[in-house]
Amino acid sequence: MNPDTPWWQRAVFYQIYPRSFADGNGDGVGDLAGLRARLDHLVWLGVDALWLSPIYPSPMADFGYDVSDYCDVHPLFGSLAELDALVADAHARGLRVILDLVPNHTSDQHPWFVESRASRTSAKRDWYVWRDPKPDGSPPSNWIAAFPPNTRAWTLDAKTGQYYLHFFLPQQPDLDWSNPEVVEAMQGVMRFWLERGIDGFRVDVVHCIGKDLTFPDDVEPFSRLPHVISHYHESTHRHLRALRKLVDSYAGERMLVGEIAQTPEERFARYYGQGDELHLAFDLPHQIYTPWDAAKWRERVANLEAWLGPRGGWPTWVLSNHDTPRHRTRLRASETDARARAAAVLLLTLRGTPFLYAGEELGLEDAVVPPARVVDPGGRDGCRAPVPWERAAPHGWRGAEPWLPFAPEPAARSVEAQRGDAGSILALYRRLLALRRATPALQRGAQRLLDAAEGVLAFERSDGAERYAVLVNTGAAEAQSDIAGRVTLSSDGRGEGAAFSGRLAPDTALVVRRG
Ligand code: NOJ
Protein backbone atom coordinates (compact mmCIF):
# COMPACT_ATOMS: atom_id res chain seq x y z
CA MET A 1 0.00 0.00 0.00
CA ASN A 2 1.20 3.45 -0.84
CA PRO A 3 0.47 5.80 2.07
CA ASP A 4 0.77 8.72 -0.33
CA THR A 5 -2.29 7.72 -2.33
CA PRO A 6 -4.12 10.97 -3.15
CA TRP A 7 -7.38 11.57 -1.29
CA TRP A 8 -9.49 11.24 -4.43
CA GLN A 9 -8.31 7.65 -4.84
CA ARG A 10 -9.15 6.75 -1.23
CA ALA A 11 -12.41 8.70 -1.10
CA VAL A 12 -16.01 7.70 -1.65
CA PHE A 13 -17.86 10.54 -3.39
CA TYR A 14 -21.51 11.35 -2.83
CA GLN A 15 -23.36 13.13 -5.62
CA ILE A 16 -25.94 15.67 -4.51
CA TYR A 17 -28.59 16.98 -6.87
CA PRO A 18 -29.19 20.17 -4.88
CA ARG A 19 -32.80 20.71 -5.98
CA SER A 20 -33.74 17.35 -4.50
CA PHE A 21 -31.55 16.89 -1.46
CA ALA A 22 -32.91 19.04 1.38
CA ASP A 23 -35.04 22.18 1.53
CA GLY A 24 -33.98 24.84 4.02
CA ASN A 25 -36.54 27.54 3.23
CA GLY A 26 -39.70 25.54 2.53
CA ASP A 27 -40.17 26.57 -1.12
CA GLY A 28 -40.22 22.98 -2.34
CA VAL A 29 -36.78 23.15 -3.97
CA GLY A 30 -33.66 21.92 -2.19
CA ASP A 31 -31.00 24.51 -1.33
CA LEU A 32 -27.61 25.06 0.29
CA ALA A 33 -29.06 25.84 3.72
CA GLY A 34 -30.96 22.53 3.64
CA LEU A 35 -27.82 20.67 2.63
CA ARG A 36 -25.73 22.42 5.26
CA ALA A 37 -28.14 21.31 7.95
CA ARG A 38 -27.68 17.69 6.81
CA LEU A 39 -23.89 17.56 6.77
CA ASP A 40 -23.75 15.66 10.05
CA HIS A 41 -25.89 12.95 8.53
CA LEU A 42 -23.36 12.56 5.72
CA VAL A 43 -20.56 12.32 8.25
CA TRP A 44 -22.60 9.67 10.10
CA LEU A 45 -23.04 7.81 6.80
CA GLY A 46 -19.28 7.88 6.21
CA VAL A 47 -18.73 9.41 2.77
CA ASP A 48 -15.61 11.49 2.13
CA ALA A 49 -16.45 14.01 -0.58
CA LEU A 50 -19.51 15.75 -2.00
CA TRP A 51 -20.12 16.56 -5.65
CA LEU A 52 -22.78 19.23 -6.10
CA SER A 53 -24.62 19.32 -9.42
CA PRO A 54 -24.79 22.95 -10.68
CA ILE A 55 -25.80 25.63 -8.20
CA TYR A 56 -25.08 28.62 -10.47
CA PRO A 57 -27.51 31.25 -11.77
CA SER A 58 -29.42 29.64 -14.61
CA PRO A 59 -32.77 29.96 -16.41
CA MET A 60 -33.07 26.21 -15.61
CA ALA A 61 -33.91 25.07 -19.12
CA ASP A 62 -31.68 22.06 -18.25
CA PHE A 63 -31.98 22.45 -14.46
CA GLY A 64 -28.70 24.26 -13.99
CA TYR A 65 -26.63 22.71 -16.77
CA ASP A 66 -27.45 25.93 -18.65
CA VAL A 67 -25.30 28.39 -16.72
CA SER A 68 -25.86 32.16 -17.02
CA ASP A 69 -23.14 33.14 -14.52
CA TYR A 70 -20.28 30.79 -13.61
CA CYS A 71 -19.15 32.77 -10.58
CA ASP A 72 -22.26 33.09 -8.45
CA VAL A 73 -25.00 31.02 -6.79
CA HIS A 74 -28.62 30.90 -7.97
CA PRO A 75 -30.88 32.63 -5.40
CA LEU A 76 -33.01 29.47 -5.42
CA PHE A 77 -30.07 27.68 -3.78
CA GLY A 78 -28.77 30.57 -1.63
CA SER A 79 -25.82 32.90 -2.05
CA LEU A 80 -22.07 32.87 -2.47
CA ALA A 81 -21.76 33.53 1.25
CA GLU A 82 -23.90 30.48 2.01
CA LEU A 83 -21.80 28.37 -0.30
CA ASP A 84 -18.65 29.56 1.48
CA ALA A 85 -20.25 28.67 4.81
CA LEU A 86 -21.25 25.24 3.52
CA VAL A 87 -17.73 24.52 2.27
CA ALA A 88 -16.24 25.70 5.58
CA ASP A 89 -18.62 23.47 7.55
CA ALA A 90 -17.90 20.52 5.25
CA HIS A 91 -14.14 21.00 5.54
CA ALA A 92 -14.43 21.28 9.32
CA ARG A 93 -16.04 17.82 9.23
CA GLY A 94 -13.39 16.34 6.95
CA LEU A 95 -15.64 16.36 3.87
CA ARG A 96 -14.28 17.63 0.56
CA VAL A 97 -16.51 19.51 -1.87
CA ILE A 98 -16.33 19.55 -5.65
CA LEU A 99 -18.54 21.62 -7.95
CA ASP A 100 -19.94 20.84 -11.38
CA LEU A 101 -18.13 22.76 -14.12
CA VAL A 102 -20.00 23.09 -17.42
CA PRO A 103 -17.35 24.18 -19.94
CA ASN A 104 -18.86 22.97 -23.21
CA HIS A 105 -21.86 25.27 -23.31
CA THR A 106 -23.48 28.19 -21.53
CA SER A 107 -27.07 29.29 -21.22
CA ASP A 108 -28.39 31.37 -24.12
CA GLN A 109 -29.03 33.98 -21.40
CA HIS A 110 -25.34 34.17 -20.44
CA PRO A 111 -24.07 37.71 -21.18
CA TRP A 112 -21.38 36.15 -23.39
CA PHE A 113 -24.00 34.64 -25.68
CA VAL A 114 -26.31 37.64 -25.54
CA GLU A 115 -23.39 39.71 -26.84
CA SER A 116 -22.34 37.03 -29.32
CA ARG A 117 -25.74 36.76 -30.97
CA ALA A 118 -26.27 40.56 -31.11
CA SER A 119 -24.53 40.96 -34.47
CA ARG A 120 -22.12 39.24 -36.84
CA THR A 121 -19.47 41.75 -35.84
CA SER A 122 -19.93 41.48 -32.08
CA ALA A 123 -16.66 41.23 -30.11
CA LYS A 124 -17.83 37.88 -28.70
CA ARG A 125 -19.24 36.51 -31.98
CA ASP A 126 -16.42 33.95 -32.19
CA TRP A 127 -16.80 32.79 -28.57
CA TYR A 128 -19.53 30.48 -29.91
CA VAL A 129 -19.80 28.39 -33.06
CA TRP A 130 -21.63 30.37 -35.75
CA ARG A 131 -21.80 29.21 -39.37
CA ASP A 132 -23.66 30.20 -42.52
CA PRO A 133 -26.45 27.93 -43.77
CA LYS A 134 -25.59 25.59 -46.63
CA PRO A 135 -26.62 26.99 -50.05
CA ASP A 136 -29.99 25.22 -49.71
CA GLY A 137 -30.55 26.85 -46.31
CA SER A 138 -29.92 23.69 -44.28
CA PRO A 139 -27.63 23.47 -41.20
CA PRO A 140 -23.85 23.12 -41.61
CA SER A 141 -23.89 19.41 -40.61
CA ASN A 142 -26.34 16.60 -39.87
CA TRP A 143 -25.48 16.51 -36.15
CA ILE A 144 -28.33 15.66 -33.78
CA ALA A 145 -28.84 17.33 -30.39
CA ALA A 146 -29.07 15.23 -27.21
CA PHE A 147 -32.54 16.63 -26.57
CA PRO A 148 -35.31 17.25 -27.40
CA PRO A 149 -35.20 13.88 -29.25
CA ASN A 150 -34.51 13.94 -32.99
CA THR A 151 -33.76 17.62 -33.28
CA ARG A 152 -30.80 19.26 -35.01
CA ALA A 153 -27.76 20.46 -33.06
CA TRP A 154 -27.94 23.74 -35.01
CA THR A 155 -30.43 26.58 -34.61
CA LEU A 156 -30.83 29.39 -37.11
CA ASP A 157 -30.71 32.85 -35.61
CA ALA A 158 -33.17 34.81 -37.70
CA LYS A 159 -31.66 38.20 -36.92
CA THR A 160 -28.11 37.49 -38.07
CA GLY A 161 -28.92 34.71 -40.57
CA GLN A 162 -26.42 32.20 -39.17
CA TYR A 163 -26.73 28.89 -37.37
CA TYR A 164 -25.24 28.33 -33.92
CA LEU A 165 -24.18 24.95 -32.60
CA HIS A 166 -25.66 23.29 -29.49
CA PHE A 167 -25.01 19.67 -28.56
CA PHE A 168 -27.89 19.90 -26.06
CA LEU A 169 -30.91 22.26 -26.00
CA PRO A 170 -31.07 25.35 -28.25
CA GLN A 171 -30.87 27.22 -24.92
CA GLN A 172 -27.37 25.71 -24.41
CA PRO A 173 -25.10 27.14 -27.14
CA ASP A 174 -21.65 25.51 -27.42
CA LEU A 175 -18.59 27.61 -26.69
CA ASP A 176 -15.75 27.62 -29.22
CA TRP A 177 -12.69 26.35 -27.35
CA SER A 178 -10.45 27.00 -30.35
CA ASN A 179 -10.72 30.66 -29.32
CA PRO A 180 -8.02 31.39 -26.71
CA GLU A 181 -10.27 34.01 -25.09
CA VAL A 182 -12.79 31.29 -24.26
CA VAL A 183 -10.08 29.11 -22.74
CA GLU A 184 -8.83 32.03 -20.69
CA ALA A 185 -12.36 32.88 -19.50
CA MET A 186 -13.09 29.32 -18.40
CA GLN A 187 -9.73 29.04 -16.67
CA GLY A 188 -10.62 32.28 -14.86
CA VAL A 189 -13.82 30.61 -13.65
CA MET A 190 -11.82 27.66 -12.35
CA ARG A 191 -9.38 29.94 -10.54
CA PHE A 192 -12.30 31.81 -8.97
CA TRP A 193 -13.55 28.61 -7.33
CA LEU A 194 -10.17 27.08 -6.56
CA GLU A 195 -9.19 30.25 -4.75
CA ARG A 196 -12.42 30.01 -2.73
CA GLY A 197 -11.27 26.60 -1.50
CA ILE A 198 -13.24 24.21 -3.70
CA ASP A 199 -11.51 20.81 -3.90
CA GLY A 200 -12.10 20.25 -7.58
CA PHE A 201 -14.64 19.87 -10.35
CA ARG A 202 -16.82 17.28 -11.96
CA VAL A 203 -16.52 18.41 -15.57
CA ASP A 204 -19.63 18.12 -17.71
CA VAL A 205 -19.34 16.33 -21.12
CA VAL A 206 -15.71 17.28 -21.25
CA HIS A 207 -15.00 15.11 -24.30
CA CYS A 208 -16.99 17.67 -26.29
CA ILE A 209 -14.91 20.80 -25.78
CA GLY A 210 -12.52 20.21 -28.70
CA LYS A 211 -14.24 20.34 -32.08
CA ASP A 212 -13.49 19.66 -35.74
CA LEU A 213 -14.44 23.02 -37.18
CA THR A 214 -15.07 21.51 -40.61
CA PHE A 215 -18.11 19.77 -39.06
CA PRO A 216 -18.03 16.47 -40.96
CA ASP A 217 -21.46 14.81 -41.15
CA ASP A 218 -22.01 11.89 -38.79
CA VAL A 219 -22.18 8.59 -40.66
CA GLU A 220 -23.95 5.30 -39.94
CA PRO A 221 -24.52 3.98 -37.30
CA PHE A 222 -24.21 7.38 -35.59
CA SER A 223 -26.09 9.64 -37.98
CA ARG A 224 -29.42 9.12 -36.24
CA LEU A 225 -28.04 9.29 -32.69
CA PRO A 226 -27.19 12.34 -30.60
CA HIS A 227 -23.87 13.64 -31.86
CA VAL A 228 -22.50 13.91 -28.33
CA ILE A 229 -22.00 10.15 -27.94
CA SER A 230 -19.68 9.77 -30.93
CA HIS A 231 -17.98 13.13 -30.68
CA TYR A 232 -14.20 13.02 -30.59
CA HIS A 233 -11.54 15.57 -31.38
CA GLU A 234 -7.84 15.48 -30.65
CA SER A 235 -7.71 19.10 -29.48
CA THR A 236 -9.68 18.18 -26.35
CA HIS A 237 -6.53 16.53 -24.98
CA ARG A 238 -4.51 19.72 -25.35
CA HIS A 239 -7.18 21.64 -23.43
CA LEU A 240 -7.29 18.99 -20.72
CA ARG A 241 -3.52 19.10 -20.24
CA ALA A 242 -3.79 22.85 -19.65
CA LEU A 243 -6.69 22.46 -17.20
CA ARG A 244 -4.80 19.73 -15.34
CA LYS A 245 -1.77 22.00 -14.97
CA LEU A 246 -3.95 24.78 -13.63
CA VAL A 247 -5.67 22.54 -11.07
CA ASP A 248 -2.39 20.92 -9.97
CA SER A 249 -0.84 24.35 -9.41
CA TYR A 250 -3.08 24.77 -6.35
CA ALA A 251 -2.03 23.23 -3.05
CA GLY A 252 -4.15 20.53 -1.45
CA GLU A 253 -4.54 17.94 -4.22
CA ARG A 254 -7.40 19.57 -6.14
CA MET A 255 -8.87 17.31 -8.77
CA LEU A 256 -10.91 16.89 -11.95
CA VAL A 257 -13.33 14.08 -12.64
CA GLY A 258 -14.62 14.25 -16.18
CA GLU A 259 -17.91 13.07 -17.57
CA ILE A 260 -16.99 11.08 -20.65
CA ALA A 261 -19.87 9.63 -22.63
CA GLN A 262 -18.12 7.95 -25.53
CA THR A 263 -18.66 5.31 -28.14
CA PRO A 264 -16.48 3.35 -28.83
CA GLU A 265 -16.20 2.85 -25.12
CA GLU A 266 -12.46 2.21 -24.72
CA ARG A 267 -11.77 5.74 -25.92
CA PHE A 268 -12.75 7.01 -22.46
CA ALA A 269 -9.33 5.91 -21.12
CA ARG A 270 -7.59 8.42 -23.40
CA TYR A 271 -8.85 11.28 -21.26
CA TYR A 272 -6.51 10.25 -18.46
CA GLY A 273 -3.68 11.13 -20.88
CA GLN A 274 -0.35 9.94 -19.52
CA GLY A 275 -1.36 11.02 -16.03
CA ASP A 276 -1.49 14.59 -17.33
CA GLU A 277 -5.18 15.03 -18.25
CA LEU A 278 -8.15 14.14 -16.01
CA HIS A 279 -7.44 12.76 -12.54
CA LEU A 280 -10.53 10.56 -12.90
CA ALA A 281 -13.07 9.90 -15.63
CA PHE A 282 -16.53 8.36 -15.76
CA ASP A 283 -17.05 5.65 -18.33
CA LEU A 284 -20.64 6.54 -19.21
CA PRO A 285 -23.17 5.32 -20.07
CA HIS A 286 -21.65 1.87 -20.56
CA GLN A 287 -20.80 1.24 -16.94
CA ILE A 288 -24.21 2.27 -15.63
CA TYR A 289 -25.96 0.03 -18.10
CA THR A 290 -23.92 -3.09 -17.32
CA PRO A 291 -26.59 -5.72 -16.68
CA TRP A 292 -26.84 -7.66 -13.41
CA ASP A 293 -24.75 -10.52 -14.79
CA ALA A 294 -21.51 -11.76 -13.25
CA ALA A 295 -19.91 -12.53 -16.63
CA LYS A 296 -20.60 -8.99 -17.88
CA TRP A 297 -19.16 -7.46 -14.71
CA ARG A 298 -16.11 -9.67 -14.94
CA GLU A 299 -15.52 -8.45 -18.48
CA ARG A 300 -16.01 -4.86 -17.35
CA VAL A 301 -13.50 -5.15 -14.51
CA ALA A 302 -10.94 -6.82 -16.81
CA ASN A 303 -11.47 -4.22 -19.54
CA LEU A 304 -11.06 -1.28 -17.20
CA GLU A 305 -7.81 -2.70 -15.86
CA ALA A 306 -6.58 -3.32 -19.42
CA TRP A 307 -7.54 0.14 -20.71
CA LEU A 308 -6.40 2.15 -17.70
CA GLY A 309 -3.46 0.05 -16.49
CA PRO A 310 -0.93 1.16 -19.11
CA ARG A 311 -1.76 4.81 -18.34
CA GLY A 312 -1.66 4.34 -14.58
CA GLY A 313 -5.30 5.51 -14.57
CA TRP A 314 -7.45 4.94 -11.50
CA PRO A 315 -10.99 3.66 -12.23
CA THR A 316 -14.29 5.14 -11.07
CA TRP A 317 -17.43 3.14 -10.28
CA VAL A 318 -20.96 4.48 -10.63
CA LEU A 319 -24.33 2.73 -10.48
CA SER A 320 -26.69 5.71 -10.55
CA ASN A 321 -26.71 9.43 -11.30
CA HIS A 322 -29.13 12.22 -12.15
CA ASP A 323 -29.31 11.31 -15.86
CA THR A 324 -30.35 7.66 -15.81
CA PRO A 325 -32.97 5.53 -14.06
CA ARG A 326 -31.78 4.56 -10.58
CA HIS A 327 -30.16 1.14 -10.37
CA ARG A 328 -32.77 -0.25 -8.00
CA THR A 329 -35.31 0.44 -10.76
CA ARG A 330 -33.02 -0.51 -13.63
CA LEU A 331 -31.71 -3.78 -12.24
CA ARG A 332 -35.33 -4.93 -11.89
CA ALA A 333 -34.85 -5.79 -8.28
CA SER A 334 -37.54 -7.91 -6.71
CA GLU A 335 -39.86 -6.64 -3.99
CA THR A 336 -36.92 -6.78 -1.64
CA ASP A 337 -33.70 -4.79 -1.59
CA ALA A 338 -31.58 -7.92 -2.11
CA ARG A 339 -30.12 -6.98 -5.48
CA ALA A 340 -29.55 -3.32 -4.58
CA ARG A 341 -27.81 -4.49 -1.40
CA ALA A 342 -25.53 -6.87 -3.29
CA ALA A 343 -24.81 -4.11 -5.82
CA ALA A 344 -23.75 -1.82 -2.95
CA VAL A 345 -21.15 -4.38 -1.85
CA LEU A 346 -19.85 -4.58 -5.42
CA LEU A 347 -19.69 -0.79 -5.85
CA LEU A 348 -17.85 -0.25 -2.57
CA THR A 349 -15.30 -3.06 -2.85
CA LEU A 350 -14.05 -2.78 -6.44
CA ARG A 351 -10.67 -1.16 -6.98
CA GLY A 352 -11.34 2.47 -7.85
CA THR A 353 -13.21 5.50 -6.59
CA PRO A 354 -16.95 4.92 -6.06
CA PHE A 355 -19.52 7.65 -6.66
CA LEU A 356 -22.81 7.25 -4.80
CA TYR A 357 -25.88 9.13 -5.97
CA ALA A 358 -27.86 10.57 -3.05
CA GLY A 359 -30.79 8.31 -2.26
CA GLU A 360 -29.28 5.05 -3.48
CA GLU A 361 -28.27 4.35 0.12
CA LEU A 362 -31.99 4.49 0.93
CA GLY A 363 -32.74 1.97 -1.81
CA LEU A 364 -34.80 4.57 -3.66
CA GLU A 365 -36.47 3.62 -6.90
CA ASP A 366 -37.40 6.17 -9.56
CA ALA A 367 -40.50 8.22 -8.84
CA VAL A 368 -43.50 7.67 -11.06
CA VAL A 369 -44.01 11.16 -12.48
CA PRO A 370 -47.50 11.88 -13.82
CA PRO A 371 -47.50 13.64 -17.22
CA ALA A 372 -48.70 16.90 -15.67
CA ARG A 373 -45.62 17.03 -13.43
CA VAL A 374 -42.98 16.18 -16.05
CA VAL A 375 -40.48 19.04 -16.18
CA ASP A 376 -37.25 17.72 -17.71
CA PRO A 377 -36.78 17.97 -21.50
CA GLY A 378 -34.58 14.86 -21.28
CA GLY A 379 -37.15 12.68 -19.46
CA ARG A 380 -35.01 12.28 -16.33
CA ASP A 381 -37.40 13.40 -13.60
CA GLY A 382 -37.86 9.94 -12.07
CA CYS A 383 -34.31 9.66 -10.71
CA ARG A 384 -34.38 13.25 -9.42
CA ALA A 385 -37.17 12.78 -6.87
CA PRO A 386 -36.66 14.49 -3.49
CA VAL A 387 -34.88 12.62 -0.70
CA PRO A 388 -37.40 11.60 2.00
CA TRP A 389 -35.90 12.62 5.36
CA GLU A 390 -38.72 12.02 7.80
CA ARG A 391 -41.20 9.18 8.10
CA ALA A 392 -44.26 11.45 8.30
CA ALA A 393 -45.37 13.35 5.20
CA PRO A 394 -44.14 15.74 3.85
CA HIS A 395 -40.97 13.81 4.75
CA GLY A 396 -38.90 16.78 5.89
CA TRP A 397 -39.98 19.00 2.97
CA ARG A 398 -41.92 21.58 4.94
CA GLY A 399 -44.06 24.18 3.23
CA ALA A 400 -44.66 23.91 -0.49
CA GLU A 401 -44.98 20.56 -2.21
CA PRO A 402 -41.55 19.47 -3.52
CA TRP A 403 -40.82 20.25 -7.15
CA LEU A 404 -41.11 16.54 -8.02
CA PRO A 405 -43.14 13.72 -6.44
CA PHE A 406 -41.45 11.30 -4.02
CA ALA A 407 -40.25 7.87 -5.07
CA PRO A 408 -42.37 4.90 -3.88
CA GLU A 409 -42.59 4.14 -0.13
CA PRO A 410 -41.23 7.48 1.10
CA ALA A 411 -42.11 6.72 4.73
CA ALA A 412 -40.39 3.32 4.91
CA ARG A 413 -37.46 4.56 2.80
CA SER A 414 -36.97 7.77 4.76
CA VAL A 415 -33.69 8.50 6.46
CA GLU A 416 -35.49 8.61 9.81
CA ALA A 417 -37.02 5.15 9.42
CA GLN A 418 -33.81 3.56 8.19
CA ARG A 419 -31.43 5.17 10.66
CA GLY A 420 -33.32 3.40 13.37
CA ASP A 421 -33.15 -0.01 11.69
CA ALA A 422 -29.87 -1.94 11.89
CA GLY A 423 -31.05 -4.19 9.05
CA SER A 424 -31.86 -1.38 6.59
CA ILE A 425 -30.04 -0.79 3.31
CA LEU A 426 -28.91 2.55 4.78
CA ALA A 427 -27.27 0.69 7.66
CA LEU A 428 -25.59 -1.64 5.14
CA TYR A 429 -24.11 1.31 3.20
CA ARG A 430 -22.85 2.76 6.46
CA ARG A 431 -21.22 -0.52 7.51
CA LEU A 432 -19.66 -0.91 4.06
CA LEU A 433 -18.27 2.63 4.11
CA ALA A 434 -16.79 2.07 7.56
CA LEU A 435 -15.27 -1.26 6.53
CA ARG A 436 -13.78 0.25 3.41
CA ARG A 437 -12.28 3.16 5.29
CA ALA A 438 -10.75 0.88 7.93
CA THR A 439 -9.39 -1.68 5.45
CA PRO A 440 -6.46 -0.65 3.23
CA ALA A 441 -6.90 -3.78 1.08
CA LEU A 442 -10.44 -2.72 0.14
CA GLN A 443 -9.73 0.98 -0.10
CA ARG A 444 -6.62 0.98 -2.25
CA GLY A 445 -5.24 -2.56 -2.40
CA ALA A 446 -4.43 -4.67 -5.45
CA GLN A 447 -7.22 -6.48 -7.28
CA ARG A 448 -7.31 -9.89 -8.96
CA LEU A 449 -10.26 -11.67 -10.56
CA LEU A 450 -10.87 -15.16 -9.13
CA ASP A 451 -12.41 -18.22 -10.75
CA ALA A 452 -15.95 -18.80 -9.63
CA ALA A 453 -19.11 -20.74 -10.42
CA GLU A 454 -21.38 -19.51 -13.19
CA GLY A 455 -23.37 -16.48 -12.07
CA VAL A 456 -20.78 -15.49 -9.47
CA LEU A 457 -18.35 -12.59 -9.75
CA ALA A 458 -15.34 -13.17 -7.51
CA PHE A 459 -12.30 -11.00 -6.96
CA GLU A 460 -9.60 -10.57 -4.40
CA ARG A 461 -8.42 -7.33 -2.86
CA SER A 462 -5.09 -7.43 -1.06
CA ASP A 463 -2.62 -5.26 0.75
CA GLY A 464 0.48 -7.07 2.01
CA ALA A 465 -0.68 -10.08 3.97
CA GLU A 466 -4.24 -8.78 4.25
CA ARG A 467 -6.48 -10.53 1.71
CA TYR A 468 -10.23 -10.32 1.13
CA ALA A 469 -12.37 -12.14 -1.38
CA VAL A 470 -15.55 -10.50 -2.63
CA LEU A 471 -18.21 -12.85 -4.01
CA VAL A 472 -21.33 -11.57 -5.78
CA ASN A 473 -23.99 -14.03 -6.85
CA THR A 474 -25.98 -12.37 -9.65
CA GLY A 475 -27.79 -15.61 -10.47
CA ALA A 476 -31.31 -16.69 -9.60
CA ALA A 477 -30.10 -19.89 -7.85
CA GLU A 478 -27.89 -20.62 -4.86
CA ALA A 479 -24.23 -20.99 -5.89
CA GLN A 480 -21.26 -22.77 -4.35
CA SER A 481 -17.75 -21.52 -3.78
CA ASP A 482 -14.71 -23.26 -2.33
CA ILE A 483 -13.16 -20.04 -1.06
CA ALA A 484 -12.14 -20.43 2.58
CA GLY A 485 -12.23 -17.69 5.16
CA ARG A 486 -14.38 -15.80 7.60
CA VAL A 487 -17.34 -13.68 6.50
CA THR A 488 -16.60 -10.04 7.34
CA LEU A 489 -19.76 -8.63 5.80
CA SER A 490 -22.72 -10.01 3.88
CA SER A 491 -25.32 -8.08 1.91
CA ASP A 492 -28.17 -9.85 3.73
CA GLY A 493 -26.47 -9.67 7.12
CA ARG A 494 -26.35 -13.47 7.45
CA GLY A 495 -23.33 -15.46 8.57
CA GLU A 496 -21.17 -12.50 9.54
CA GLY A 497 -18.27 -13.38 11.81
CA ALA A 498 -18.60 -17.11 11.01
CA ALA A 499 -16.53 -19.29 8.68
CA PHE A 500 -17.85 -19.05 5.10
CA SER A 501 -20.15 -22.03 4.47
CA GLY A 502 -19.40 -22.17 0.75
CA ARG A 503 -23.02 -21.35 -0.12
CA LEU A 504 -24.14 -18.09 -1.68
CA ALA A 505 -27.83 -17.21 -1.84
CA PRO A 506 -29.16 -15.56 -5.05
CA ASP A 507 -28.63 -11.77 -5.30
CA THR A 508 -26.22 -11.85 -2.37
CA ALA A 509 -22.69 -10.56 -1.93
CA LEU A 510 -20.07 -11.44 0.68
CA VAL A 511 -16.77 -10.03 1.81
CA VAL A 512 -14.64 -12.94 3.06
CA ARG A 513 -11.40 -12.42 4.96
CA ARG A 514 -8.79 -14.84 3.63
CA GLY A 515 -5.44 -13.80 5.03
C1 NOJ B 1 -24.51 15.91 -18.69
C2 NOJ B 1 -25.28 16.23 -17.44
O3 NOJ B 1 -25.06 15.21 -16.49
C4 NOJ B 1 -26.73 16.36 -17.86
O5 NOJ B 1 -27.60 16.42 -16.75
C6 NOJ B 1 -26.86 17.56 -18.76
O7 NOJ B 1 -28.17 17.62 -19.26
C8 NOJ B 1 -25.89 17.49 -19.93
N9 NOJ B 1 -24.58 17.04 -19.57
C10 NOJ B 1 -25.75 18.83 -20.59
O11 NOJ B 1 -25.04 19.70 -19.76
User: Are the beta carbons of 141 and 230 closer than 8 angstroms?
Assistant: no
Q: Is the CB of 65 under 6 A from ligand 1?
A: yes
Q: Which ligand 1 atom minimizes the distance to the CA of 380?
A: 5
Q: Is the CB of 174 under 6 A from ligand 1?
A: no
pLDDT at site 440: 97
pLDDT at site 334: 63
Q: Is the dihedral of CA 406, 410, 415, 418 positive or negative?
A: negative
3-state secondary structure 7-38: HHHHCCEEEECHHHHCCCCCCCCCCHHHHHCC
Amino acid at 510: L
Distance 284 CA to ligand 1 centre (A): 12
- d(C-alpha 51, C-alpha 96), whole Å: 9
Which of 168, 260, 318 to mutate for ligand 1's pocket (most ligand atoms within 8 Å of CB)?
A: 168
| ∠ CA 315-290-379, rounded to 5° | 105
Distance 204 CA to ligand 1 centre (A): 6
DSSP 102: -
User: Are the beta carbons of 257 and 200 closer than 8 angstroms?
Assistant: yes
Omega cis (within 30) before 75: no
Q: Is the CB of 284 under 6 A from ligand 1?
A: no
Q: Which ligand 1 atom minimizes the distance to the CA of 168?
A: 10
Which of 204, 227, 355 to mutate for ligand 1's pocket (most ligand atoms within 8 Å of CB)?
A: 204
Per-residue pLDDT of 111-168, as tens digits, reads 999 999 999 999 999 999 999 999 999 999 999 999 999 999 999 999 999 999 999 9
- d(C-alpha 349, C-alpha 460), whole Å: 10
Per-residue pLDDT of 405-419, as tens digits, reads 999 999 999 999 999
Instruction: Give the catalytic positions in this structure.
Output: 204, 259
Distance 323 CA to ligand 1 centre (A): 7
Return the H-helix or E-strand segment holding 256. strand 255-261
Q: Which stretches of the chain drop beneath a pLDDT of 50?
A: 1
Q: β-strand 13-16 against 49-52: which pairing, if any?
A: parallel
Burial 128-157 (b: 16+ CB within 10 A, else e): bbbeeeeeeeebbbbbbbbbeeeebbbbbe
CA distances for 61 relative to 65, 157, 322, 425, angstroms: 8, 19, 15, 34
- d(C-alpha 492, C-alpha 472), whole Å: 12
Ligand 1 atom 4 nearest Cα: 323
DSSP assignment of 322-335 = TTS--HHHHTT--S
DSSP assignment of 334-380 = -SSSHHHHHHHHHHHHSSSEEEEETTGGGT-------GGG---TTS-
CA distances for 432 relative to 12, 71, 348, 458, angstroms: 11, 37, 7, 17
The closest alpha carbon to 64, from 113, 23, 30, 35, belongs to: 30
| ∠ CA 252-35-7, rounded to 5° | 25
The closest alpha carbon to 413, from 401, 429, 398, 400, belongs to: 429
Which of 65, 67, 201 to mutate for ligand 1's pocket (most ligand atoms within 8 Å of CB)?
A: 65
The conformational region for residue 79 under phi > 0 = left, psi -120 to 50 = alpha, else beta, is beta
Q: Is the CB of 260 under 6 A from ligand 1?
A: no
Per-residue pLDDT of 321-356, as tens digits, reads 999 999 999 987 666 799 999 999 999 999 999 999
CA distances for 268 relative to 229, 256, 487, 491, angstroms: 11, 15, 36, 31
Ligand 1 atom 5 nearest Cα: 323
The domains of the chain, with CATH numbers, are: 1-14+40-49+297-515 (2.60.40.1180)
Q: Which ligand 1 atom minimizes the distance to the CA of 378?
A: 7
* SS3 call for 169: coil
Q: Is the CB of 323 under 6 A from ligand 1?
A: yes
Q: Is the CB of 100 under 6 A from ligand 1?
A: no
| ∠ CA 204-205-211, rounded to 5° | 130
**H helical segments located in 373-446:** 415-419, 425-438, 440-444
- d(C-alpha 495, C-alpha 509), whole Å: 12
Query: What burial class does residue 84 get, using C-beta atoms within 10 Å of its C-beta: 0-12 exposed, 13-18 middle, 19+ buried?
Result: middle
Distance 144 CA to ligand 1 centre (A): 15
352 φ, ψ (degrees, to nearest 5): 145, 180
CB within 8 A of 349, min separation 6: which ones?
432, 436, 442, 461, 468, 470, 511
User: Are the beta carbons of 108 and 170 closer than 8 angstroms?
Assistant: yes
Distance 239 CA to ligand 1 centre (A): 20
* SS3 call for 59: coil
pLDDT at site 28: 97
Q: Is the CB of 218 under 6 A from ligand 1?
A: no
- d(C-alpha 439, C-alpha 125), whole Å: 54
